[in-house]
Structure 1
């Protein structure tokens, strides 16, 4: 089987010479390297140059352009001029594209054989490298040359026009579902690596799942790598937050009729959403890359990936700081490759708890150097009531050990104040976003005024939508 068709190539090029307007339709499908014959590649590249300069795509200009580049072939050019123009040019262009992809696959298969036999690499590294090249072929996202200023300007102007056309002028990226967080970040950008960090029990996983639910509301896909928690436990939290059903009731199966109705409605709705969970505990960055690439190819609507959490990703690096550096850099490159934001949860150093002010800072990140360098946004979660409760329990324990009675002046609340501290943002301001944390639902919400909160409580919404 021949993986090229010179007759179709000549017919397409002849059609463009006959009517220069056809070039735009063909260029939306083909690149110069998709043609098999080198002269055909050069001729189509010359058409691209003339098109960019608003010159006519005709015999005279093309011949002059190719002669100057010393790429003109009189015999092959006359052969194209003597070929009847093809009708239904887009259909034939797709056929040429299909043949070009097959040639790429043959080339890749030869590379695979050479890599396996000659390169001294581990199998998982070779598989990951091959999958990356296959992903590039499948998405036609092959490595290109430097972008020229004109092309960058045109792309940037198109981006600005798109943002102007949006009704919500605040959100230019992926809508987080939180008004104040959107105001600070303008939404999470395509290709952003977002680090969400906190000490244990502050609500890292809860906030990440709330963000996932908010994205799912927009019918956009979410992938979650749960390295610590089984998928079923993760889903219990999501159902609790989405339906405002106490998590403890779900865990015990202790539901009244109203809660069953809410659970059924939310479960039915959530089951239709493009949510993908991988709860394999022992995964490395190569596995994550391979799985996300495959998922993105199969589900183009995938718009967010969440990894819970960064320090649980395994690595061959013995030095932990080198392992984290490799992982964070790889996640950033993967976010750019797939053009989606990736949220990676991270632990914080215990040392912050020895400070009077326990609000996290960038220096509290474990292996902070590499993470801080690669991340586009770093967010910390802080709930003061967590520390107040810990201090109260410690005082009570110490008093009991001494046989003394002690009055605890702290009372746990069902709804606590929470702070999402934006410690770094590459393209925006830093600051603190105030939220509320509903403990029994593991649910974060925007903080509202007392009047608004009363109005919300009085509103009878029996069936919350996810």
Structure 2
């Protein structure tokens, strides 16, 4: 028999205590509950820590957990070391742990259904249907997909392989628009969360917008969710890039001359015909997810750019890292559930500027929660000329792939064409300047094409 159904608080304690008594017990309930199923915040955090330790091959006894919480400076969040020890000491055995876990899961589903009903009842406005769908999706979000046997899994792999051999393109996914980057990544893949990050003025938002523009131009429906710019500003930049009329002219109509208009109008018509969609009035995770789901249902979007995470009203959490963790995990889950690619733009903090070499590294993401773990591809954008006025690489940028779950890492050189708001491929690589050669400068920002000039 199951323990008393209404005793969910004790059920949560016994699940945690059982996992602490024997790490093997965790695997017996890992398919039943997740950390989001625990009604108590501290229980959720404790279960998350147990999951991380056990999956790394470590034990999750009370002493190990206490040390883990101390090292992460969140002991107070879980009620102190004494509470963790009490959980283990008051749990007699692991015999009924799966039954206890089922109570936790069932109570969590009921709780989410009630919360969803309240939220849906309060929804108003043009986005209420999409938001309701997002709310309902969150109710079942923790449900596990049916287990696949080896035969079913193999059939799925063979179908993908057959589709790949039949396609016209050499790419497995959506083209980035840059041949060298496509070669490294095989394009943006279904279900991926791609992070584009950098310091201010590196061009991270511009690059992400260009990914969306390129995808749409290739017939792939793309969706830009921008928390930084208005839609008009995004489109103005795209018109400049497509028409090659300098951005400072396009954005100020008084500067437009007669010979500019045909190119501007043509570019505008081309962009208007693309399967490209914009949202610029979202402010938090729930509204962003609602718009992403709505666009996917209505337009079949396959690539989403979200610009950028630091401008989002983050979920309430004890720390910024935990808040960002919730955002990235929800975005990753959404990308996987909808079969799309989500490109998330993020700004790095200024600590990297204390180093001699200011190229971003993975360690620069440590204060950004679980981005490093959740992202399938991490791409940093770096321009040496921003820090070094005598840089031989002026007019160029480095796209630094620091992580790729299914591929290699490395650097892809890009030409900066900020005068017309775009990046171009740099098949010749970064300029190689001989020590005895006279200095050469490359204009890459404002009012020129980025061509090399001699002093």
- The answer to whether TM tops 0.5 is yes
Question: How far apart are residue 449 of structure 1 and its match?
Answer: 3.7
Give, in whole Å, the separation in 2 of the partners of 1:127 and 1:306.
22
Q: 1:280 is matched with which residue? A: 281
Please say if residues 196 and 378 of structure 1, whose CA atoms lie closer than 8 Å, have aligned partners that are also in contact: yes
User: How far apart are residue 330 of structure 1 and its match?
Assistant: 0.4
Distance 2:134 2:308 in 1: 23
Deviation at 1:322, TM superposition (A): 1.0
Which consecutive unaligned segments of at least 5 residues does structure 2 have? Answer: 1-109, 430-455
CA–CA separation in structure 1 for the residues paired with 2:399 and 2:116: 51
For 1:131, the equivalent position in structure 2 comes to: 133
2:151 is aligned to: 150
Aligned residues: 311
Q: 1 or 2, which has the higher helix percentage?
A: 1
Aligned partners of 1:227 and 1:280 also within 8 Å: yes
Distance 1:268 1:118, change over 3 A: closer
CA distance in 1 between counterparts of 2:119 and 2:235 reads 42
For 1:154 and 1:113, the matched residues in 2 are separated by 35
2:398 matched residue in structure 1 = 419
Distance 1:117 1:383 in 2: 46
Give the aligned partner of residue 167 of structure 2: 166
In structure 2, how many angstroms separate the alpha carbons of the residues matched to 1:122 and 1:356?
Answer: 55
TM-superposed deviation, 1:134: 5.8
Which of 404, 416, 422 pairs up with 1:443? 422
Give the gaps of 5 or more residues in structure 1: 1-110, 137-141, 390-409, 451-466
Q: 1:316 to 1:135 in 2, by over 3 A?
A: closer
Kindly report the root-mean-square deviation, in angstroms, between the aligned alpha carbons of the 2 structures: 3.1
Question: Where do 4+ consecutive residues of structure 1 move more than 3 Å?
Answer: 111-114, 116-124, 126-130, 132-136, 410-413
1:158-215: CA deviation from partner (whole Å, max 9, x where unpaired): 111111222333x101111110000010001001000000100000111111111111
How far apart in 2 are the matches of 1:133 and 1:206?
A: 32
Which is greater in Rg? 1
Preserved contact between residue 385 and residue 391 of structure 2 (Cα < 8 Å): no
Task: Indicate how the Cα distance of structure 1 residues 127 and 216 shifts in structure 2: closer, same or farther if over 3 A, else same.
Answer: closer
Residue 367 of structure 1 deviates from its aligned partner by 2.5
Q: TM-score, normalised by structure 1?
A: 0.62
How far residue 135 of structure 1 moved from its aligned partner, in angstroms, is 6.5
Q: State the secondary structure of the residue aligned to 2:251.
A: helix
Aligned to 1:296: 296
Bigger relative contact order, structure 1 or 2, given CA contacts below 8 A and separation 6+? 1
- Cα 1:358–1:118, aligned 2, differ >3 Å: closer, same or farther? closer
Question: Does the 8 Å contact 1:128/1:287 carry over to 2?
Answer: no
Aligned residue number for residue 311 of structure 2: 312
User: Which residue of structure 2 aligns with residue 432 of structure 1?
Assistant: 411
2:272 aligned residue: 271
Q: Aligned partners of 1:351 and 1:143: how far apart in 2?
A: 40
Q: Tell me, in whole angstroms, the C-alpha distance in 2 between the residues paired with 1:113 and 1:173.
A: 35
2:188 corresponds to 1:209? no
